[in-house]
Amino acid sequence: MAFVQPDSYALKNEQGIHQYTVRSIYLDSLDMECYNQKESGIQLRRKLRIRGYNQLDNDSKVVLEIKRKIGSRIKKHRASLYFNDLDDMLRNAKLEDVIITQPGKEALDDARRFFFHLKKKQYRPSNLVVYEREAYHGKMDQGVRITFDKDIRSRISPKIETLYDDRNLKRLFYNHFVLEIKYFTNNMPLWAKSLVQEFKLRNDAISKYTIGYDVSKFNQKLTY
């Protein structure tokens, strides 16, 4: 791997692959606003999700996240807290008591943004999506991140407390994974662009949320 190295958060498994488990509960309104905006191709939209990693333990943290998409650009607002505090926070909105703050970070403001949209739209848990992420970042370009999301599976109408429950999940893809190349400059690095060209990779807007919802609720067969 001349240009990349494993993500520092990824642990090597028995096969020698550096990866970790990502689990997200997507929130949506009763009329499925977020789902319908994606399906309609609206360029300016947002999604709310609660994200955790790996398996549950006493120190497990979760992230409250607003993911805003403006055309091809993505902006995220994130705030962390312990999973054990999550249910009480959602019921009582005592953000100052549970949000983990760091100097120079806007975690508390981002948590307030999350809670504002949560209550304004009356969002509730819509879909749980779980997958294994193999992650790398550039050796020379630290802002470049390459991820392989594998064994993607989902379950509709989860409860918040079941974020770490892997039962009754339906697999989205049997023969495919999702590759993302993320960079924060105007142009993709040449070495990454050469990989895209060599393997004839196509650029698709893949939504794990909407695909997972379709597979779980409608048993929809994928054409990938």
What b-and-e string marks burial along 185-218, b requiring 16 or more CB atoms within 10 Å of the CB?
eeebbeebeebeeeeeeeeeebbbbbbbbbbbee
pLDDT above 80: residue 208: yes
Say how far apart CA 66 and CA 1 lie, in whole Å.
33
> d(Cα 154, Cα 25) in Å, to the nearest integer?
9
According to DSSP, the β-strands at 11-12 and 178-182 are: unpaired
Is residue 210 within 8 Å of residue 35, measured between CB atoms? yes
CATH number at residue 68: 3.20.100.30
- Residue 30 belongs to a domain: yes
Write out pLDDT tens, residues 74-122.
899 999 999 999 999 998 878 999 999 987 679 999 999 999 999 999 9
pLDDT > 90? residue 72: no
Domain residues for the domain of 116 are 4-218
C-alpha span between 141 and 138 (Å, rounded) = 5
Give dist(CA 180, CA 196) in Å, integer. Answer: 11
Task: Flag whether 224 is in a domain.
Answer: no
Cα 217 to chain centroid distance, Å, stands at: 20
Record the pTM. 0.92
Is the predicted pLDDT of residue 222 greater than 70, yes or no? no
Is residue 140 over pLDDT 90?
Answer: no
Question: Do the domain assignments include residue 103?
Answer: yes
Please count the structural domains in the chain: 1
Q: What does the pLDDT look like over 5-58, one tens digit per residue?
A: 998 888 888 888 999 999 999 999 999 999 999 999 888 899 999 999 999 999
For 171, the enclosing helix (H) or strand (E) is strand 170-171
| Share of residues in the chain with pLDDT > 90 (%) | 64
Q: Is residue 223 part of a domain?
A: no
Q: Does 137 map to a domain?
A: yes
pLDDT confidence of residue 188: 86
Q: List alpha helices for the chain, DSSP H.
A: 33-40, 83-92, 95-98, 107-120, 190-198, 208-218
- pLDDT range class, residue 183, cuts 50, 70, 90: confident
